[in-house]
Structure 1
């Protein structure tokens, strides 16, 4: 069964390897007809991606991925069909991106204290856009301290490691409301990576009340059983089952671009929900104060 849809990808506007244009060219090369760009905390690549998609005759969906914290773990929230140029929305994203920069700087400081000498300037050069841990990992690889990006996470910058730094703590409900404030469609990303499906079931009523519209059901390495369980949850809460590869580039995630089948029905449902949402005035969102890390 050939796949034409990938609704979860990243570019150099956050922590992907390829520029938005290069990403769209690769999407064309693998036969994709629909692609969403969902960079972390940034919409800076969307204009370039939309232009490239138009030239390549690819149906482009503007998106984003917001990282949030809950109970010591992480929940990622995707947003689709954003009215991303809203000034209030962009102002909040800037706060989140600035927090990522400070986090990156602190990681480099901790690495240097451990005798692992990479420079912040080099990390910024590698990143080009918003800074993330993969950029620090790539600097470690480049400097010869590790032999692979996964080793950098396991040895230095993963949770519990010497240079791990927590980030600005946004709750999943906050992320859902933030996306809704730009008339976007909030979707929980890769839910199997959460503490468990039963815990997800406990969270879903509150998230749906906050404005959640979808659940990433078709994702990268999910098994058929996991996919079926998530589809049942999506049906139970009347959520749109979406999917994608979480493609950042070779060697970062195991699933290649377009390598996970996503039914075109997901695109149709998202488009219908987006059209309905645009007929309403979006809610106002106020960013909560950052949590001081101990």
Structure 2
């Protein structure tokens, strides 16, 4: 049995869809036996200071991290940056730019959700949002707990026993608010190449997050994406089945990339995902050695 002591992808409440504080995540990792961790919040480095201090108390190796939204052609991607100098002002600029766009799009998301046939009030979403940003997960939480829509056919797959009930909130997001779906609102994200440069300039390493999810049906693009600055791949993810994990493990080794593992733990928005559950199929000591080689720990 493979030891589960590395988890390099989790989210604090500085991500709009995260539940726990940075300190809480560190304590949870300690209780789970995770001794090498990274918090990779969406376009934000706000968790790093608090988490680093807390990790010292538990003798946990903490790696500075961020998960940045970006694009490759017309595909939206998530890229992880590890070992970054998180005090660089460019990360604050990145966050402010995306926050500004997200707030503007939130009003449109509310209108689009109403167009699905739901009577949802702005005040309801404001109760869940700390930042004025509305997410698909928030709309799902409200609607699935509204007795008026108990018999809604549209919501049926997300209820207990339904085909999308394993992670109902985030699945609702993927089905209605992600790229190309009915309630999608476009944000202008930086390119993969630009994000790779930003991470490199901060002394970090660029890793493609859960490629089996974002490159579904287009795995062949991965090879050419490496030329845009990718230095690693999250081969082991809660999103990946064994075949997908093996594919990206092989690609990582073929191109001498850093191969990583991450649960993408959020809390209530992804209840079936647990800290440390990364589906890693290799001895994690191999990953530890690569992290040491690249001076990330």
- State the TM-score bracket (shorter-chain normalisation): 0.7 to 0.9
Take 2:289 and 2:175, find their aligned partners in 1: how far apart are those partners? 43
Is structure 2 residue 180 aligned with structure 1 residue 177? no
Q: 1:258: how far off?
A: 0.4
| Counterpart for residue 288 of structure 1 | none
Q: Residues 125-183 of structure 1: CA distance to partner in whole angstroms, max 9, x if unpaired? A: 42435844333433433445544425633664344444221222322112211212222
Q: Secondary structure at the match of 1:138?
A: helix
Equivalent in the alignment of 1:140? 143
Query: Gaps (5+ residues) in structure 1?
Result: 276-294
| Match of residue 264 from structure 1 | 285
Q: 1:65 aligns with which of 64, 67, 90?
A: 67
Q: Which runs of 5+ in 2 are unaligned?
A: 150-154, 160-167
RMSD: 2.7
User: SS at 1:186's partner residue?
Assistant: strand
Question: Which secondary structure does the structure 2 equivalent of 1:37 belong to?
Answer: coil
What are the residue-to-residue correspondences of 1:1-294 with 2, within 5 Å? 1-14=2-15, 15-112=17-114, 115-120=117-122, 122-128=124-130, 131=133, 132-143=135-146, 145=149, 146=155, 147=159, 148-150=168-170, 152-153=172-173, 156-193=176-213, 194=215, 195-204=217-226, 206-207=227-228, 210=229, 212-250=230-268, 252=270, 254-260=272-278, 261=280, 263-274=284-295
Distance 1:223 1:113, change over 3 A: closer
> Hey, what's the Cα distance between the residues in 2 that align with 1:242 and 1:166?
29
C-alpha distance in 2 between matches for 1:157 and 1:56: 38
For the residue of structure 2 that corresponds to 1:66, the secondary structure is strand
1:261-290 CA distances to partner (integer Å, 9 max, x unpaired)? 371332442343247xxxxxxxxxxxxxxx
- Alpha-carbon distance in structure 2 between the residues aligned to 1:271 and 1:103: 41
For the residues of structure 2 that align with 1:120 and 1:62, how far apart are their CA atoms?
35
* Count of equivalent residues: 272
> Contact 1:37 / 1:62 at 8 angstroms: preserved in 2?
yes
TM-score normalised per structure 1: 0.81
CA distance in 2, matches of 1:143, 1:156: 18
Cα offset, 1:110, TM superposition:
2.7
Aligned-partner Cα distance in 2 for 1:5–1:39: 17
Kindly indicate whether the alpha-carbon contact (under 8 Å) linking 1:176 and 1:186 is maintained by their aligned counterparts in 2: yes
Work out the CA distance in 1 between the residues paired with 2:249 and 2:31. 29
Write the distance in 2 (CA, Å) between the matches of 1:169 and 1:130: 19
Query: Could you say if the C-alpha distance between residues 162 and 10 of structure 1 is closer, same or farther in structure 2, counting changes exceeding 3 Å?
Result: same
- Report the Cα distance in structure 1 between the residues aligned to 2:171 and 2:39, rounded to whole angstroms: 27
- Helix, strand or coil at the partner of 1:197: coil
